[in-house]
Amino acid sequence: MERPKYLTTKPQRAKGLELYAFHVQSVIDKERIHFTRPQAHFTREEKHGWEVQDSPLLPRRLDRFILGEEYSYHATFRSVLPEGTNLKTDIVGVLGDRKGEAIGIDLGGLGSRLFADFPKGFFAKTQGVVLFDSRSMLQCTDDTVSNHGVIVGDITTDKTRESVDRWLGGKKVDLIIERMMGGLDEIPHDLHFLQKQFSVLYDMLSEGGIMFIQVPKFATKLASLWVDVAREESLGTIDVKQGIYHSNQYGSTVALRIHKLPGAPRELPLISQREVRGLYKAA
Ligand SMILES: C[S@@+](CC[C@H](N)C(=O)[O-])C[C@H]1O[C@@H](n2cnc3c(N)ncnc32)[C@H](O)[C@@H]1O
């Protein structure tokens, strides 16, 4: 990363240098973690060298300058938000009655900067789930203070699900976010399996809870079919919004906003096995 040269006013320069120093520190920390805490998933993680990592909830001016527009979660879900809201005001509005008690999880993300962008104390506890915990010591300390943790594991495995269940202690999640970008390529390209994963997430979500999902490219058609089934079979109690997110890095993907309203079915309505097989044939 180059030292920013184009910041002209004094506060801009100070902020720019602060960000640059933060970046340098996190590179040092990552190296240290690499040598002192080798983990099984690290090789998978290292192979990618994610450019988008630990993104903020909303675009921040300096991030936008340095890393581009797509660096925030808001950018991915902009197309599915109710008019006049951003990702933060939408979530805070939907979960407003659970303020102080809400539980949030970021699947395929550290969630550190994401949850730090919500009003202090809005969530009772939050968690990120990733293949490798690349946070700096400083971030870990800040996160612990705000009751944010990170589970290291593969989100598609039973082992990671058990860790998440232990963390939940029988409770449900009010906010689920998954915005894995290139990480979606790590998910097995299996539509039957993906539907199953989808119903696991739905089961994890509380009544009144909301989830934002970036759909892997290989499942674009499946998502469109599923949206119709969910709307029809739930008689509107699963409020689904479907949009498109275009990223310069990753191309176009489907973005979903799923609000589980009171009276929503206990189990997620799915498209039939036969229809899924049909998708394979059509491909
Ligand atoms: C491009 S980064 C995106 C991180 C974050 N969601 C964001 O938007 O800043 C991809 C992330 O997906 C995670 N990832 C990829 N495959 C995963 C899997 N099977 N289980 C858990 N995390 C995974 C990686 O560890 C990495 O943190």
Q: Render pLDDT for 72-95 as a digit per residue (tens, 0 to 9).
A: 999 999 999 999 999 999 999 999
Instruction: Assess whether the C-beta atom of 150 lies below 6 angstroms from ligand 1.
Output: no
pLDDT of residue 25: 61
In order of their start, the domains of the chain are 39-282 (3.40.50.150)
Mean pLDDT (whole number) for 211-227: 95
Cα 178 to ligand 1 centroid, rounded to whole Å: 9
Taking Cα atoms as reference points, which of 275, 278, 219, 282 lies closest to residue 252?
219
In terms of C-beta density within 10 A (0-12 exposed, 13-18 middle, 19 or more buried), how is residue 44 classed?
Answer: middle
Q: Which residue has the tokens 């993300």?
A: 109
Strand bridging mode 102-107 / 173-178:
parallel
Instruction: Assess whether the C-beta atom of 55 lies below 6 angstroms from ligand 1.
Output: yes
Instruction: Assess whether the C-beta atom of 216 lies below 6 angstroms from ligand 1.
Output: no
Atom of ligand 1 nearest to the CA of 186: 16
Instruction: Assess whether the C-beta atom of 183 lies below 6 angstroms from ligand 1.
Output: yes
Mean pLDDT (whole number) for 206-222: 96
pLDDT of residue 36: 43
pLDDT of residue 60: 79
* CA–CA gap between residue 261 and residue 137 (Å, rounded): 39
Mean pLDDT (whole number) for 159-175: 97
244-254: b or e for each residue (b if 16 or more CB lie within 10 Å)?
Answer: ebebeebeebb
Of 93-107, 127-141, 206-220, the range with the lowest mean pLDDT is 127-141
66 — pLDDT class (breaks 50, 70, 90): low
Mean pLDDT (whole number) for 222-250: 94
Q: For residues 109 and 10, which has the higher predicted lDDT (pLDDT)?
A: 109
Taking Cα atoms as reference points, which of 255, 180, 263 lies closest to residue 223?
255
Instruction: Assess whether the C-beta atom of 108 lies below 6 angstroms from ligand 1.
Output: yes
Cα 32 to ligand 1 centroid, rounded to whole Å: 21
Does the structure show a pLDDT above 50 at 225? yes
Cα 157 to ligand 1 centroid, rounded to whole Å: 14
Strand bridging mode 123-130 / 251-260:
unpaired
37 — pLDDT class (breaks 50, 70, 90): very low
pLDDT digits (tens, 9 = 90+) for 110-123: 999 999 999 999 99
